[in-house]
Amino acid sequence: CNLQGLWRNELGSNMTLLALDAAGTFSGSYHTAVAVTNKQILVSPLQGAQQHLSAKRQPTFGFTVQWQFADSTTAFVGQCFVDHRGKETLETTWLLREEVLSCRDNWKATRVGTSIFTRIK
């Protein structure tokens, strides 16, 4: 499974992952199709790491997205799966943390969810 390429999730968000370096780290960009904001949605940078390809055929990975239009960051963890036809999907769980003004508001600062990405190119 090769993470490099263009990916789209079930909500229409697009992600571009660049080539892994020798240490298994990568960068890229994320353009979300959904956001809770009145601001213009901007493409946002991501940074991540993956298991070495030599270790496993369907590796685990993680990355963070620093949103350029909101005071929040999202961490994704997941695994790349290859089905019997060679179709690759990224199954992820994400945790979004937004800035709040006080500890009293901490309860509403974190959201969690899942996303499945399929390869576009």
Q: What is the pLDDT of residues 11-39, one digit of tens each?
A: 999 999 999 998 999 999 999 998 777 78
Q: How many domains does the chain have?
A: 1
Given this model, what pLDDT does residue 105 score? Answer: 95
Domain that holds residue 16: 5-119
Looking up residue 73, the CATH number of its domain turns out to be: 2.40.128.30
Q: Are 5 and 28 in contact (CB under 8 A)?
A: no
What pLDDT is recorded for position 96?
A: 96
Return the structure tokens found at 38. 């009145």
pLDDT surpasses 80 at 120 = yes
| Residue 121, pLDDT score | 78
Name the β-bridge partners of 88: 82
